[in-house]
């Protein structure tokens, strides 16, 4: 009687030994991408073990050839480091305010956790942080005890990304307004974002800019060799809570932010949501101070908003 062969306890291969089909190619690429998307170890290398516990060396060895100077893991690590340094750099540059709130170490921890859960889903790095505000809402511990401020700042800084290169449709003309009268329905330009914040993040961002701390996150610093990092004493204090209404917009292709009165914010929000001008005013000013000449004030606001090009025609349903 032949002795029975002992069962093979080694886990099955993750990768196909040959790549003949698109399915094989997808399997190959999925495993390599998974290796890159796993956060780096404390020594900025690949983690020692795969998600199922097998040694990383065994996984890397299935597809990466070693050479006389580098092991399979070391060759794969070149790509893993490149990936993580690139995406973390991107968030580091796009979210200087959030970084100032959390400090560099905690910001990197938050960014790493965010990217591990939400790797880029877009062909452009521009969109990398689009889900960051929601992530902080869902995982406030990463920003504690400043989670509310961090959420506001992440929303504010994402709005700046939209304002930088978001679409701007033809602005509403005087004829459009006159033709429609009080039944006018407008849309806000897609590159304009109106925000209600629990903290004055716009002022904090300006204070950071003045202190030079924003510059630490920018490539521009490399072009200014005389610049010195701002001293710790120059760091602006974190703001106290203060309900703030702010618009992030684009004017002559530069990004601006503008404070709003609460009533102005309510009217803009109602207009954005599709109410007519007359209805937006009625709803927004229902509990407003009757001593104020709201008709004159709304006219003035509207003239300003119109001159800033915030309004465009509301597209008919079914159109992009």
Provide, rounded to whole angstroms, the least separation between the CB of residue 46 and other proteins: 13
Contacts of 166 (CB under 8 A, 6+ apart): 190, 191, 250
Residue closer to other proteins by CB (options 108, 168) is 168
What sign does the dihedral 246-248-249-253 (CA atoms) show?
Answer: positive
Residue closer to other proteins by CB (options 78, 238) is 78
Provide, rounded to whole angstroms, the least separation between the CB of residue 203 and other proteins: 24
Provide, rounded to whole angstroms, the least separation between the CB of residue 288 and other proteins: 35
Provide, rounded to whole angstroms, the least separation between the CB of residue 245 and other proteins: 24
Provide, rounded to whole angstroms, the least separation between the CB of residue 320 and other proteins: 11
Give the closest residue to 192 by CA, choosing from 256, 244, 130.
256
Distances (CA, A) of 305 to 242, 284, 309, 312: 24, 17, 6, 11
d(CA 135, CA 159): 16
Provide, rounded to whole angstroms, the least separation between the CB of residue 134 and other proteins: 18
d(CA 122, CA 249): 23
Q: Specify whether the CB–CB gap between 142 and 136 falls below 8 A.
A: yes
3-state secondary structure of 137: helix
Residue closer to other proteins by CB (options 155, 250) is 250
Binding site for other proteins (CB under 8 A): 15-26, 28-30, 32-33, 36-37, 62-65, 67, 69-70, 74-76, 78-79, 82-83, 86-87, 119-126, 163-168, 190-191, 222-223, 250, 253-254
Residue closer to other proteins by CB (options 32, 143) is 32
Residue closer to other proteins by CB (options 134, 279) is 134
CB atoms within 10 A of CB 132: 25
**Residues recorded for the chain:** 320
Residue closer to other proteins by CB (options 1, 223) is 223
What six digits make up the tokens of 315?
Answer: 């597209």
Provide, rounded to whole angstroms, the least separation between the CB of residue 90 and other proteins: 8
Residue closer to other proteins by CB (options 184, 188) is 188
Distances (CA, A) of 142 to 74, 146, 166, 227, 305: 31, 9, 29, 31, 37
Provide, rounded to whole angstroms, the least separation between the CB of residue 10 and other proteins: 17
Residue closer to other proteins by CB (options 26, 210) is 26
141-163 b/e with 16+ CB inside 10 Å = b? Answer: ebbeebbbbbbbbbbbbbbbbbb
């Amino acid at each position: 009687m032949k002795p029975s062969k002992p069962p093979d306890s080694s886990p099955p291969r993750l990768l196909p030994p040959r790549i003949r089909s698109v399915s094989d190619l997808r399997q190959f690429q999925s495993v390599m991408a998974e290796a890159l998307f796993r956060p780096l170890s404390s020594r900025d290398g690949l983690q020692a073990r795969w998600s199922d516990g097998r040694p990383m060396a065994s996984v890397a060895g299935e597809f990466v050839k070693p050479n006389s100077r580098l092991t399979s893991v070391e060759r794969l690590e070149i790509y893993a480091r490149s990936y993580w340094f690139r995406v973390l750099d991107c968030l580091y540059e796009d979210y200087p305010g959030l970084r100032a709130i959390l400090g560099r170490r905690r910001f990197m921890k938050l960014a790493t956790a965010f990217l591990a859960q939400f790797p880029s889903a877009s062909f452009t790095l521009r969109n990398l942080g689009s889900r960051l505000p929601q992530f902080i809402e869902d995982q406030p511990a990463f920003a504690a005890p400043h989670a509310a401020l961090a959420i506001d700042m992440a929303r504010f800084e994402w709005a700046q990304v939209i304002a930088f290169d978001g679409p701007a449709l033809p602005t509403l003309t005087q004829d459009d307004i006159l033709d429609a009268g009080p039944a006018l329905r407008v849309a806000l330009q897609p590159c304009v974002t109106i925000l209600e914040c629990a903290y004055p993040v716009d002022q904090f961002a300006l204070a950071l800019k003045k202190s030079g701390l924003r510059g630490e996150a920018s490539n521009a610093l490399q072009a200014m060799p005389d610049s010195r990092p701002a001293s710790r004493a120059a760091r602006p204090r974190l703001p106290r809570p203060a309900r703030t209404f702010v618009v992030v917009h684009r004017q002559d292709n530069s990004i601006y932010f503008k404070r709003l009165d609460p009533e102005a914010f309510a009217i803009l929000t109602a207009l954005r949501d599709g109410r007519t001008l007359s209805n937006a005013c009625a709803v927004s000013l229902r509990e407003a101070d009757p001593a104020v000449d709201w008709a004159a004030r709304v006219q003035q606001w509207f003239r300003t908003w119109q001159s800033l090009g915030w309004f465009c025609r509301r597209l008919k349903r079914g159109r992009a």
